Amino acid sequence: MASSDSHEVSQLNELKIDLDAIAVIAHYQANSNIIMDEQMPIFGGYAGGVEETTIVDIATHINAMVMSNASWHLDGPVHIRWGSTNTRETLMIAGWACATISEFTNILSGNQYYPCAGPCTEMCLLEASAQSITDTASGREILSGVAAAKGVALDKTTGMEARMMGEAARATAGMEIPEVNKILDNLVKMYEKDYAKAPAGKTFQECYNVKTIEPTDEYMKVYEGARKKLEGLGLVF
């Protein structure tokens, strides 16, 4: 690993840690490593609702600095029912928490992306866009994604999802918050009814040319379709 690479350690839900993690932190500190402390507060879990989970989320950022001596914190509020970071509730939590951290601290904050849908689907790209828009508007420094299909399916991650994440972030930069909120409200409405039947999508091998590492024509068409929908909502690419 390069000296500039981050070394991860994870808090447990909520605001807990185990002895193994403490040993890892000690090892990282002894080697002067860059420490990335990760935690995904659970909406609907021990913390409770949106407001309570937001408070926990802010606390995990502070805890990362105090307990782990972290260089930066990797966030990722996740919905207990859908296992996704892109729901209306988790976007609210991530946005409020990051805006607070950005306003009152100098903590570097990242966010993890876990759409319900898999690659080569419009839903996956729209989900990733919603989170990217939220992160950018709320002052997030680092976007860490995208782990399509909730990050649990084999070979269900490609560069196209990250490309959409990046393009949506660029398009959002500089926008006024009321305009962003209007776009987000209409965007989330496009996919939130489909959580229970989210399309599985395709594997990397099915939607990419594995020799040239280029997306298939099919995925390019899906991508352009999703982008047009975002343009219709008000994003300017």
pLDDT of residue 199: 97
Alpha carbon distance 12, 199 (integer Å) = 30
- Are the C-beta atoms of 75 and 111 separated by less than 8 Å? yes
User: Residue 74 forms beta bridges with which residues?
Assistant: 38, 110
DSSP annotation of 154 reads T
Q: What is the pLDDT of residue 93?
A: 98
Q: What is the pLDDT of residue 2?
A: 86
Burial of 128 (0-12, 13-18, 19+ CB in 10 A): buried
Q: What average pLDDT does the structure give for the chain?
A: 96
The per-residue pLDDT for 120 is 98
- Tell me: the pLDDT tens digits for 145-193? 899 999 999 999 999 999 999 999 999 999 999 999 999 999 999 999 9
* Lookup result for tokens 């966030």: 75
Q: Give the pLDDT of residue 1.
A: 81
Give the Å distances, CA to CA, from 75 to 103, 110, 136, 142, 212: 16, 6, 14, 10, 33
pTM: 0.95
Q: What is the mean pLDDT of each run of 10 residues along the chain (237 residues)?
A: 92 94 96 96 96 98 96 97 97 98 97 98 98 98 95 96 98 96 98 97 97 97 98 96
Q: Are 85 and 131 in contact (CB under 8 A)?
A: yes
Residue type, 82: W
Name 154's Cβ contacts closer than 8 Å, sequence gap at least 6: 203
Residue 68: predicted pLDDT: 94
Residue 111: both structure tokens together: 């966010």
pLDDT at 81: 97
